[in-house]
Structure 1
Amino acid sequence: MPSDLAKKKAAKKKEAAKARQRSKKPEEMNGEAEQPDAQPNGAESNGVASLTKELDEFELAKTEARAVTGVLASHPNSTDVHISSLSLTFHGQELLADTSLELNSGRRYGLIGLNGTGKSMLLSAIGHREVPIPEHIDIYHLTREMAPSDKTALQCVMEVDEQRIMLEKEAERLAHEDSECEKLMELYERLEELDADKAEVRASRILHGLGFTTAMQQKKLKDFSGGWRMRVALARRSSNRKFKRILVLISHSQDFLNGVCTNIIHLHQRKLKYYTGNYDQYVKTREELEENQMKRFNWEQDQIAHMKNYIARFGHGSAKLARQAQSKEKTLQKMVASGLTEKVVNDKPYIYKNLEFGIDLDTRVALVGPNGAGKSTLLKLLMGELLPSDGMIRKHSHVKIGRYHQHLTEQLELDLSPLEYMMKCFPEIKEKEEMRKIIGRYGLTGKQQVSPIRNLSDGQKCRVCFAWLAWQNPHMLFLDEPTNHLDIETIDALAEAVNEFDGGMMLVSHDFRLIQQVAQEIWVCENQAITKWNRDILAYKEHLKSKIEKQTHDI
């Protein structure tokens, strides 16, 4: 900050604080915060503007169909938000009923719950100030991903610091105008938040925390899916390392929630329930609470059954027994009147139920079963890309997992050659000839190594991914349908590479040829369970054949 601004800041700040009365609307805040993204360059502008208009109309329609009630319970000047008796309905459907919203300054909340329970609707209601949040608390509601562009993810986060220059110039101009103390105060606060020192390191660290590898940080925004561009938008908003405000986010990534959140809010049965800690701590705490709740519930039900049985048997017996029966009936009535413990109701639906297993660096297992049984879902759960409805997935803090899936080729930079891409991803390899040898091990030779990746066949693109994946030196490999675009020779080469790999492996595949070569165990995923198949894959193939023939015969 220029020295003349620093001198005037102290004198202006006290006066500005008294005069400042914020009346900024949410939409004004949104426009200020994301101004660099508001006008995409090039021919995309009209399309993006049209889409934005449609989204605005859709948001307006949702707002008009929503009804929210609640009472401010915190002090009007507090930086915390406490709302009591909060209810939320949408098209007449009650999503929240007489619950409390409690958000404390400096905490980062992960809002979780089943799809359709009202998580996004709640954030939208907060963003539109339909709940009684004090006017001095600004709200930024991130609802859209960044527009596609040629900027890299890292550039998009770093450019937020470029606002500092503009803000400094504006603050210098306003410092000489006494009538602008309110706006000057806002500029001073924003300048404090924007620290350009070590911008690249800070931006890279934020992106890494959101799941971006070093290679992905250099990838153009237009090559990301909407979900990843949403994470870039979030990274831009999180680029202030002194973030002391309230953050509420919705995510289905266990690793993301563990790395970001200080608290968890669980939307369950139209109530908001609060847990201290990240997602793993939430699971542990919830398990303990539900275990105690079920113990209490079972004890109460046993007592009720015992008293009802006694009353039924002796209520019309001798005078002594009848008096005892009447006493038990009064006790029962008091228990009911004071409120009985509710039975634990778990979130539904389940793809798997009551799974318990472990894997290590000696694991060589193939997951088989019908489509839709949850084979790929299991890998995503183990990776932390999805959250379990109940229970916990414990992963060693130092284990490194490499996962191949059918969409992995989408992260390749198509304008680069395989050689250029690998040299960029692994800059520690200085010699091109050394990298050529590495790539050559995966069946890419000669001109294939120096041709743009976009000119390669699907199978050749897969080989680039295998080279990239293997050179990360993971401890475990998760392979999800790796043979979709491979010929028989390449499948055999993949099998040889997997067998030489010194680590654990989980494979999802319908390719019996590959399974037969690399799997030491077969796990069948079916009927919400995983069952170990005690014979080889060929026997399982015959089992499937017999099953299909029987079904055909029955028809």
Structure 2
Amino acid sequence: MLGSVKRKTNGFSDIYVADVTKELDEFELKKTAARAVTGVLASHPNSTDVHIINLSLTFHGQELLSDTSLELNSGRRYGLIGLNGTGKSMLLSAIGHREVPIPEHIDIYHLSREMPPSEKTALQCVMEVDQERILLEKEAERLAHEDSECEKLMEIYERLEELDADKAEVRASRILHGLGFTPAMQRKKMKDFSGGWRMRVALARALFIKPFMLLLDEPTNHLDLDALFHKIFKRILVLISHSQDFLNGVCTNIIHLHNRKLKYYTGNYDQYVKTRFELEENQMKRYNWEQDQIAHMKNYIARFGHGSAKLARQAQSKEKTLQKMVASGLTERVVNDKTLSFYFPPCGKIPPPVIMVQNVSFKYSADGPYIYKNLEFGIDLDTRVALVGPNGAGKSTLLKLLTGELLPTDGMIRKHSHVKIGRYHQHLTEQLDLDLSPLDYMLKCYPEIKEKEEMRKIIGRYGLTGKQQVSPIRNLSDGQKCRVCFAWLAWQNAHMLFLDEPTNHLDIETIDALADAINDFEGGMMLVSHDFRLIQQVAQEIWVCENQTITKWNTDILAYKEHLKSKISDDK
């Protein structure tokens, strides 16, 4: 679902909007039908804080949450984290659909997808989201023409005044400006924007209607977004993000979904890591002390339980102490999250030059603007480049030109006759056969691998184990679908990896595993990513795509990030 909100107008029960966009698609309906949620509201029904106890959530019979508590307090911004497949998106979706007992006076907006391409401008898309204002304006116009029901017309005008209806365009424009839209871009059609910019328009819609509870599932990573949230959003925000930078900049609290429970930490992501480490260190000290005590007492009981009367009494005393310890509950051993080790197989050597770009220019249509002009560069198997630059500058376009998916308008791209290129992109999961299991899908793609057990081992390297390997792909989380795509990509045995936003929907542990695999890979790599941490881990060069050309950035990605921040400040 793109974004939905449920809200009632003050005193106008005949004007009611349950969804501000479109009907749920068939897949979303199936997901909702396959989900079971139970929970009890423990906070006061009129409170602006939400406290739900005994919360359980199952999906296709798999228990994702079990008898846990959901605590969301007004004025807090929560980062929801946890491994792929643990149920983060499912929980947000259940809250967004009011399958948990959220009080009616708390309106909810759930954002999980960018705006679709259309003829509407960015400004129109933002303004049209406030259905209450639009319907009230239409009703006022109708009543004014009919010249009747003056009392009701005055009520509508009063409500429009409360909504600051006359300032709607100014407010929408200000929000878009905060997300990086110039006045000219605000009047540009949605069909002319890249996916990243369309996601920002969707986010602007959410901020425009100011819901009491805003749910964001993998929002676009924009450098100044943290400042925007501090300034604009003062209610309840819950977001899922793979970006440590974003979690650090935005969040006041972290919710960790682990072992079917929700655990709460105060502070941003870095503070969560520090606190969790200290808690687990103390937990292990307590666990080890208890286990030493238990071993000592058991040993004493075994040795002296049948000895002299005095020793037997002492043994019985220790046995009672041991029973009390067990009855009061022993400290559990800390179980660390499963670590993955992604793997890109050896690709062999190809002598340079592998790909040569000679005087290449490109535009999408004959009368359209040039995306690139007169590009000249070469890439080889030792290339480790991150492409950065503003959304819409042509980063993904460049990768498509290099693979041959797009042809240059002018110039030539020469490729070694034996080079194999593997491209990962944001929409790769849409090409999966959702009715097949990951195991059957991979066996279909790679029929030369005859043994199922061998394929099971291959898929297991990408974090898909047990039932996940044989369940229909449609039942997997977005992050698990991405892992299927990485398994598929790796076994193409490519010489060059072109990775376009590979971290979308991946948890932080999986991103680290991907970084290790890229660093161990013996071929070349070009990366498009908003994840500065991944770029810092794997890129040896930074290329800036901007103003129809490509220039090498002479220092590291952190310096580039600071450069962008200062540029944004100057623009404002």
When normalised by structure 1's length, the TM-score is 0.47
Secondary structure of 1:507's aligned partner: strand
Residues 281-323 of structure 1 show CA distances to partners (whole Å, capped at 9, x for unaligned) of 2222222222222221222122222222222222233322222
Change (3 A) 1:323 1:104: same
% identical aligned pairs: 91
Change (3 A) 1:301 1:379: farther
Distance 1:397 1:513 in 2: 34
Alpha-carbon shift at residue 135 of structure 1 (Å): 2.3
State the match for 1:332 in structure 2: 322
Secondary structure of 1:241's aligned partner: helix
Alpha-carbon shift at residue 97 of structure 1 (Å): 0.4
Secondary structure of 1:266's aligned partner: strand
Secondary structure of 1:371's aligned partner: coil
Distance 2:540 2:68 in 1: 52
More off after superposition, 454-463 vs 67-76: 454-463
Alpha-carbon shift at residue 268 of structure 1 (Å): 0.8
Residues 358-411 of structure 1 show CA distances to partners (whole Å, capped at 9, x for unaligned) of 999999999999999999999999999999999999999999999999999999
Alpha-carbon shift at residue 243 of structure 1 (Å): 3.7
Say if 1:40 and 1:147, in contact at 8 Å, map to a contact too. no
Alpha-carbon shift at residue 139 of structure 1 (Å): 2.4
Secondary structure of 2:44's aligned partner: coil
Say if 2:511 and 2:534, in contact at 8 Å, map to a contact too. yes
Alpha-carbon shift at residue 231 of structure 1 (Å): 4.0
Secondary structure of 2:155's aligned partner: helix
Say if 1:81 and 1:104, in contact at 8 Å, map to a contact too. yes
Secondary structure of 1:98's aligned partner: strand
Change (3 A) 1:504 1:134: same
Say if 2:443 and 2:449, in contact at 8 Å, map to a contact too. yes
Alpha-carbon shift at residue 136 of structure 1 (Å): 2.5
More off after superposition, 173-182 vs 86-95: 173-182
Change (3 A) 1:135 1:261: same
Say if 2:20 and 2:129, in contact at 8 Å, map to a contact too. no
Change (3 A) 1:261 1:466: closer
Say if 2:85 and 2:477, in contact at 8 Å, map to a contact too. no
Alpha-carbon shift at residue 140 of structure 1 (Å): 2.3
Alpha-carbon shift at residue 74 of structure 1 (Å): 1.0
Say if 2:197 and 2:391, in contact at 8 Å, map to a contact too. no
Distance 1:444 1:269 in 2: 17
Alpha-carbon shift at residue 133 of structure 1 (Å): 1.9
Larger Rg: 1
Change (3 A) 1:404 1:299: same
Say if 1:48 and 1:147, in contact at 8 Å, map to a contact too. no
Change (3 A) 1:307 1:456: closer
Higher strand fraction: Structure 1 or Structure 2?
A: 2
Say if 1:252 and 1:387, in contact at 8 Å, map to a contact too. no
Residues 92-135 of structure 1 show CA distances to partners (whole Å, capped at 9, x for unaligned) of 11111000111122222221111111111112222222212222
Distance 2:48 2:179 in 1: 27
Distance 1:396 1:171 in 2: 68
Change (3 A) 1:501 1:294: closer
Change (3 A) 1:378 1:282: farther
Map of 1:498-509 to 2, 5 A cutoff? Answer: none
User: Unaligned 5+ residue runs, structure 1?
Assistant: 1-38
Say if 1:161 and 1:194, in contact at 8 Å, map to a contact too. no
Determine which of 492, 507, 520 is the counterpart of 2:540.
520
Residues 415-465 of structure 1 show CA distances to partners (whole Å, capped at 9, x for unaligned) of 999999999999999999999999999999999999999999999999999
Change (3 A) 1:182 1:329: farther
Secondary structure of 2:439's aligned partner: helix
Distance 1:158 1:185 in 2: 23
Residues 127-184 of structure 1 show CA distances to partners (whole Å, capped at 9, x for unaligned) of 2222122222222222332112466767755787999788678679989999999999
Residues 338-371 of structure 1 show CA distances to partners (whole Å, capped at 9, x for unaligned) of 1111122222x99999999999999999999999
Distance 1:437 1:47 in 2: 53
Change (3 A) 1:310 1:517: closer
Say if 1:112 and 1:267, in contact at 8 Å, map to a contact too. yes
Say if 1:284 and 1:392, in contact at 8 Å, map to a contact too. no
Say if 1:99 and 1:271, in contact at 8 Å, map to a contact too. yes
Secondary structure of 2:15's aligned partner: helix
Say if 1:255 and 1:385, in contact at 8 Å, map to a contact too. no
Change (3 A) 1:309 1:67: same
Say if 1:153 and 1:217, in contact at 8 Å, map to a contact too. yes
Secondary structure of 2:148's aligned partner: helix
Distance 2:75 2:372 in 1: 37
Change (3 A) 1:227 1:289: farther
Alpha-carbon shift at residue 248 of structure 1 (Å): 1.7
Distance 2:462 2:482 in 1: 9
Distance 1:316 1:541 in 2: 72
Change (3 A) 1:199 1:372: closer
Distance 1:441 1:65 in 2: 28
More off after superposition, 287-296 vs 522-531: 522-531
Change (3 A) 1:165 1:423: farther
1:226 aligns to 2:243 (yes or no): no
Say if 1:429 and 1:435, in contact at 8 Å, map to a contact too. yes
Distance 1:469 1:252 in 2: 21
Say if 1:211 and 1:256, in contact at 8 Å, map to a contact too. no
More off after superposition, 459-468 vs 332-341: 459-468
Secondary structure of 1:51's aligned partner: coil
Residues 177-221 of structure 1 show CA distances to partners (whole Å, capped at 9, x for unaligned) of 999999999979986886699999987886688799999989864
Alpha-carbon shift at residue 256 of structure 1 (Å): 2.0
Distance 1:501 1:268 in 2: 31
More off after superposition, 528-537 vs 173-182: 528-537
Change (3 A) 1:256 1:187: farther
Change (3 A) 1:293 1:200: farther
Distance 1:89 1:285 in 2: 29
Map of 1:294-443 to 2, 5 A cutoff? Answer: 294-347=284-337
